[in-house]
Amino acid sequence: MSFALSFPVTGNPTEVLKLVERSLPKLEGDAVRVRMRYAPVNPADLNFIEGNYGHPSHPPAIPGHEGCGEVVAIGSQVTSLAKGDVVIPLLGAGCWSQHLTAAEHHFVKLPSSIDPIQASMLRINPVTAWHLLNQQVDLQPGDWVVQNAANSGVGRALIQMAKKQGFRNINFVRRAELIPEMLGLGADAVFLDTDQGVSEAKDLLAHSPVKLAANAVGGDSAIHLMELLSQEGLMVTYGAMSRRSLKVPNKYLIFKNLRLHGLWITQWFEKASRAEIQSVFELLAKMVLDQELVTAVDSIIPMKEYRQAMARAQEGGRQGKVILDLA
């Protein structure tokens, strides 16, 4: 028997989530059974439980878009994984469970020495940051990138990756006390997400071109990014933290000819080849091992205290991710 967190109906995660006991399926063919160790609580997970995510949840369902665990058993046809391997699932749901059973192609093997807590947070935010920097425009070392929500999971990862790849970055945050931390991660410049902050960023740029902006907020914050983008620059929206629609003043389309794209990393996973996915995780895992990529952790909370974890994950002012300990 094994325990999992499940919700019978959509709604407030602190109210509808339940700890349930379930039997393990028989292991056959190319199936792999993983003992899950840690899983973060992401906004996407909360939206999934609430019924507001891009993919319908179809309750009863087990949430959890990412996590990390260890292979404990394999089917007779499995060739790429062995008992004891450290893996992360690519299923997109179901990670808030002590055991996860799926076909071997739904898992990616990681180095055995990797920190399992950091590994549990690799699939969404770091991959999104990698995609923003490497799949949107042709960036060269020394080029400028701008982003809002710099203290978010994607924002922190983007700062660290940009530093490694030689891209200069301008970052916007909502609270002044966050600025020293962002600079410590390797940010070239950090400003408050205000009109004054935009003016200061312009002074720093001194007409240097800005090809790419990463938008996780929407509303007026997105306008700040558009103001800094150069002619025919690209703004990629991957989140909507303000819950305000994207407003595009006509002048940015007419006189700058800005391009506006969206990014939902789930769709990249659905289309990318196995070799491409593996190569990205090899890169990210090496950065973690070299301590060049560190994802902030707010708290680690036992699975049985899931209501506390859900409440904390919905609070503002956290210092990082809430992690479920699935032991």
Helix (H) / strand (E) element for 72: namely strand 68-74
Model confidence, pTM: 0.94
| pLDDT the model gives residue 238 | 96
| pLDDT the model gives residue 55 | 83
Residue-by-residue pLDDT tens, the chain, 327 positions: 899 999 999 999 999 999 999 999 899 999 999 999 999 999 999 999 999 888 888 999 999 999 999 999 999 999 999 999 999 999 989 999 999 999 999 999 999 999 999 999 999 999 999 999 999 999 999 999 999 999 999 999 999 999 999 999 999 999 999 999 999 999 999 999 999 999 999 999 999 999 999 999 999 999 999 999 999 999 999 998 888 888 899 999 999 999 999 999 999 999 999 999 999 999 999 999 999 999 999 999 999 999 999 999 999 778 899 999 999
Question: Strand, helix or coil at 177?
Answer: helix
Q: Structural domains in the chain?
A: 2-121+295-325 (3.90.180.10), 125-265 (3.40.50.720)
Residue 311, judged by CB atoms within 10 A of its CB (0-12, 13-18, 19+), counts as: middle
Catalytic residue among 53, 238, 252, 306: 53
Nearest-angstrom CA–CA distance, 111 and 253: 46
Whether 252 is catalytic is no
How do 234-237 and 210-215 pair as beta strands?
A: parallel
- What one-letter code names the amino acid at 320? G
- Neighbouring CB atoms inside 10 A of 13's CB total 24
Question: Strand, helix or coil at 276?
Answer: helix
